[in-house]
Amino acid sequence: MTNDFDRFGDLLDYPMYVVTAAADGDLAGCLVGFASQCSIDPPRFVVWLSVANRTYRVASRCEHLAVHVLDAGGHGLAALFGGRSGDLVDKFERVAWEPHGAEGTPVLREAAGWFVGRVRGHWPGGDHVGFLLDVVDVGPAAGSRGGLLAFSDVDDVRAGHPA
């Protein structure tokens, strides 16, 4: 059955996101493919983080997360946040970012657009945990509609952690 579902998944070309977090002085961020808006009113979004990932461990201690979309030219940023483990590399030394709010949630300057969401809850989903976010702030969208980095654009990025 897994192979059948893999073939179904191969048909999808969804947008990729970078999720960032800050807790107790720890910064973390990762490339995320499992995410979606899940409510219009109130505006809510869910991101699914791998339990093997350092970002999951930091995000589990956060009140807020930042979700970024990248434009089609954002492959380098995606490769950094998707292909390098925060357990081994300080990703934030290599990118321009600004702290947001009291927690200092990292907001990436190179992102096409971003929002910060308050964590409402967590839901286990297998090897990933969903973080339900209430949108509390939205940054400028510098990207163009339809020009976002997609899954097919990052198929060469090898994960810094196993799924």
Q: What does the pLDDT profile of the chain (163 residues) look like in tens digits?
A: 567 887 887 787 788 899 999 999 999 999 999 999 999 999 999 999 999 999 999 999 999 999 999 988 888 999 999 988 888 889 999 999 999 998 999 999 999 999 999 999 999 999 999 999 999 999 976 555 558 877 787 776 766 666 6
Tokens of 122: 């967590």
Tokens of 157: 């990025």
136, 105 contact by CB (below 8 A): no
* d(C-alpha 159, C-alpha 30), whole Å: 10
* d(C-alpha 63, C-alpha 151), whole Å: 28
Judged by DSSP in three states, 21 sits in: strand
Q: Which helix (H) or strand (E) holds 87?
A: none
Tokens of 153: 């654009």
pTM listed for this prediction? 0.90
